[in-house]
Amino acid sequence: MELYNLPIHSLEKMLTEGDISSVELTAAVFDRIDQVEGKISAYITLDRENAQLAAKRADEKIAAGEGGGLCGIPLSIKDAICTKGLKTTGGSKILEPFVPPYDATVIAKLKEQGAVILGKVSMDEFAMGSSNENCAFGIPKNPWNLEHICGGSSGGSAASVAASECIASLGSDTGGSVRQPASHCSVVGLKPTYGRVSRFGLLAFASSLDQIGPLSKDVRDSAIMLNAIGGYDPKDSTSINKEMPDYTAALTDGLQGMKIGIPKEYFTDALDPEVRAAVDNGIKLLQGAGGEVVDLSLPHTEYGVAAYYIIAPAEASSNLARYDGVKYGFREKESESLAEMYSKTRSQGFGDEVKRRIIIGTYALSSGYYDAYYKKASQVRTLIVEDYQKAFSQCDILVSPVTPGPAWKLGEKIADPLSMYLSDVLTISTNLAGLPGISVPCGFSSKGLPIGFQIQASHFEEEKLFKAAYNLEQQLDLQPKYPTL
């Protein structure tokens, strides 16, 4: 077995027992990157030199008996997460030259533990998109079929994990941006409870929805990653001061006593039959493990997309106002006046999808429209929260597909943003309600494209997610594990 194909928990053991060094492991992953990156285009920036230094330091730490966890493990990081001294573009031309003078809290935590950061991976510009085609620096391909999208917005993260160009990755999920690409690339993607993981240093798209989450080769790695990045951060007022359990402790066999909610609104005729079949099979396996199925309803699900595409652009229109050419990043230099500089900088610096959402958001917040759009959307959001509260009084977890169908072909939906938006219907409500959700691989379509299984739980009940996901993974033992590249 190649080192780069192994999960964190195997490598951790090999590292601490001295079977391999982090320097070797890191070199092996870079070799893999050199081998396949030409096909995948997952990375925007590679940081070989610092990665090797970090690997050396990790080896010293391990030698001193301070290893374990993520120490010495090579990771890729979504380019929306600030890394001190390492270019952080957000997938946008407007931030192309930006080098943060600070680390995001999650990065500081990873470094503290001795993780090795390989580089920054591709994403839809400012995390706006579901296919990773909205990136100013190349479009990553689905490792399972290079003609298909890898999903978005954390497409580079999912592709780099699936193609073994890293051991695990950090992405961010605003409306499904971790779970959806994870589903399309047959990796595990976790969106933690809003407030579980610090947002400090994450380029803001929609502050009330954004949450950083890991993409990994399996469920245990996902739990290890959350152990590493979770917890209260005084630098993020929206992070919540709640005890961090050891999430790997939840990974036990058997689901006796667990009630599995099946929301009927997630199983409409719009689902691809192959997706439906794979998810139904997953549900059967959970039942087989001892879970008890409960049919229920989340009646406001259908309004989720509409509410989301008001709230997220509204917040984005304000969050992205700082990219004005004055202080950092790209500036159009030929302008004669301040207004012209603003206008040209932002027209040339942002891509179409970002501009589209800034315009939608600006409109939704405008005086005279606020009540009809933003306020209404916030009310819908409250209804969705209430739906979930009712549901979780009847069950422990909710299960569903992650996406209505497998990954589509590159370019297929790029001219039709609305159909792209609608593909987010199954993941968006989780963010609107601030809940945790996970995507676990559960099968392949007849064309060999991955299908994901989504599990949602109540606030701070990630342990239930992990337990159910782990049982599914163990029962299913899905093959193949890696794409042929």
Partner 1 sequence: MEFEIVIGLEVHAQLKTNTKIFCGCTTSFGAAPNSHTCPVCLGMPGVLPVLNKQVVDYSIRMALATNCEINRTNQFARKNYFYPDLPKGYQVSQFDLPIAEHGWVKIEVEDESKKIGLTRIHMEEDAGKLVHDEREPKSYVDLNRTAVPLIEIVSEPDLRSPEEAVAYLKKIHSILRYLDICDGNMQEGSFRCDANISLRPHGQKELGTRTELKNMNSFRNVQRALEYEIRRQRDLLLEGEEVVQATLLWDPDRNVTSSMRSKEEAHDYRYFPDPDLVPIVIDEEWIETARASLPELPGQRKQRFMEELGLPAYDAEVLTAAKELADYFEAALLGYDNAKKLSNWIMTELMREFKGGGPEDIAACKVSPANLAALLTMVQKGTISGKIAKTVFSDMMESGKEAEAIVKEKNLSQMSDEGDLVRIVQEIMADNPEQVEQFRDGKTKVMGFFVGQLMKKTKGQANPQMANELFQKELTK
Residue 11 or 204: the one with the smaller Cβ distance to partner 1 is 204
**What Å distances lie between residue 344 and 26, 339, 348, 360, CA to CA?**
42, 9, 6, 19
Residue 234 in the binding site for partner 1 (CB under 8 A): yes
Does residue 422 touch partner 1 according to CB under 8 A? no
Nearer to partner 1, 338 or 418 (CB): 338
Per CB under 8 A, the list member of 268, 287, 347, 366 interacting with partner 1 is: 366
Amino acid at residue number 441:
P
With CB under 8 A as the contact rule, which of the stretches 25-33, 202-210, 246-254, 347-355 interacts with partner 1?
202-210
In this structure, what DSSP letter does residue 79 have? T
235 in contact with partner 1 (CB under 8 A): yes
Contact status: 110 vs partner 1 (CB under 8 A):
no
Please say which residue, 63 or 321, places its beta carbon nearer to partner 1.
321
Q: Is 367 in the site for partner 1 (CB under 8 A)?
A: yes
Return the residue of 14, 20, 306, 365 that touches partner 1, per CB under 8 A.
365
Question: Which residues are identified as catalytic?
Answer: 78, 153, 177
Toward partner 1, which CB reaches closer, 145 or 154?
154
- Beta pairing, strands 168-173 & 188-191: unpaired
**Residue 341 CB, nearest approach to partner 1 (Å):** 9
**What are the tokens at 341?**
């500089």
Pair type for strands 450-457 and 437-444: antiparallel
Nearer to partner 1, 115 or 320 (CB): 320
Binding mask 34-73 for partner 1 (x = CB under 8 A): ----------------------------------------
| Number of Cβ within a 10 Å radius of residue 5 | 14
Paired strand residues for 76: 119, 169
Is residue 88 within 8 A of residue 317, CB to CB? The reply is: no
The smaller minimum CB distance to partner 1, of residues 22 and 317, is found at 317
Helix/strand/coil percentages in the chain, nearest 5: 45, 15, 40
The reply to whether 374 sits near partner 1 by the rule CB under 8 A is yes
Question: In the set 370, 409, 411, 416, which binds partner 1 (CB under 8 A)?
Answer: 370
**Contacting residues for 60 by C-beta, under 8 A, at least 6 apart:** none
Among the residue ranges 56-64, 249-257, 276-284, 364-372, the one whose residues contact partner 1 (CB under 8 A): 364-372
232 binds partner 1 (CB under 8 A): no
Of the candidates 96, 236, 274, 463, which one interacts with partner 1 according to CB under 8 A? 236
d(CA 120, CA 170): 10
Contacts of partner 1 in 305-334 (CB under 8 A): 314-315, 317-318, 320-324, 326-328
Cβ atoms of 12 and 61 within 8 Å: the answer is no
Q: Which is nearer to partner 1, 122 or 317 (CB)?
A: 317
Q: For 202, which DSSP code?
A: B
Q: Is the dihedral of CA 401, 406, 407, 413 positive or negative?
A: negative
Strands 437-444 and 397-401: unpaired
Residues belonging to the chain: 485
Minimum CB–partner distance for residue 81 and partner 1 (Å):
8
Residue 240 DSSP SS3? coil
Name the 3-class secondary structure at 458: coil
Q: What is the identity of the amino acid at 41?
A: S
SS3 265: helix
**Binding marks (x or -) toward partner 1, 84..103, rule CB under 8 A?**
----x-x----x--x-xxx-
Which residue, 323 or 388, has its beta carbon nearer to partner 1? 323
Buried-exposed string 245-282: b where 16+ CB fall within 10 A, e elsewhere: eebbebbeeebeebebbbbebbbeeebbebbbebbebb
User: Site map for partner 1, 172-191, x if CB under 8 A?
Assistant: --------------------
Site residues (vs partner 1, CB under 8 A): 80-82, 88, 90, 95, 98, 100-102, 104, 199-204, 206-208, 234-238, 314-315, 317-318, 320-324, 326-328, 338, 342, 362, 365-367, 370, 374
